[in-house]
Amino acid sequence: KTIEEDNENNLIENLSSNLSINRSSIRCEIKGNQVDEKYSVSHKEMRTYNHRLYEVSISNFPKIMRNDNFMLNGKHYYWMSIDDMRKDKEIIKKNLEIVEFVHSHIK
């Protein structure tokens, strides 16, 4: 969830903690912003969302994270391509416009 102040630092702190990565090897940069009004499936009402897209670079990428999926600190993680996300029924239902927003900013 985006916070109002110092969000980049918050993202770095969370990544460092959750993925057991040294803070000094993480860089974070805002790449885009988009405001959407859409129906929230979980809240069952229309809501306005301010989406911020960040690019995160990790200079010392842990070996375990190079796998297609992995367990770390009791959480299961997996990588998905844009095409994978476009085919996922839950993503289509809840956040396909975010996938397209991310895709539009990939260089």
Does a structural domain hold residue 13? yes
d(CA 34, CA 98): 9
The whole-model pTM stands at: 0.79
Whether residue 2 lies inside any domain: the answer is: no
Of the two residues 1 and 35, the one the predictor is more confident about is: 35
The domain tally of the chain equals: 1
| Domain interval for residue 76 | 7-105
Q: Does residue 60 lie within any of the structural domains?
A: yes
Q: Residue 14 has what DSSP assignment?
A: H
Within a domain: 74: yes
pLDDT in tens, 36-70: 898 888 899 999 988 889 999 999 889 999 999 99
Residue 1 lies in a domain: no
Dihedral of the alpha carbons of 17, 22, 27, 32, in degrees to the nearest 10: -10
Q: To which H or E segment does residue 87 belong? A: helix 82-87
pLDDT band at 22 (very low <50, low <70, confident <90, very high): very high
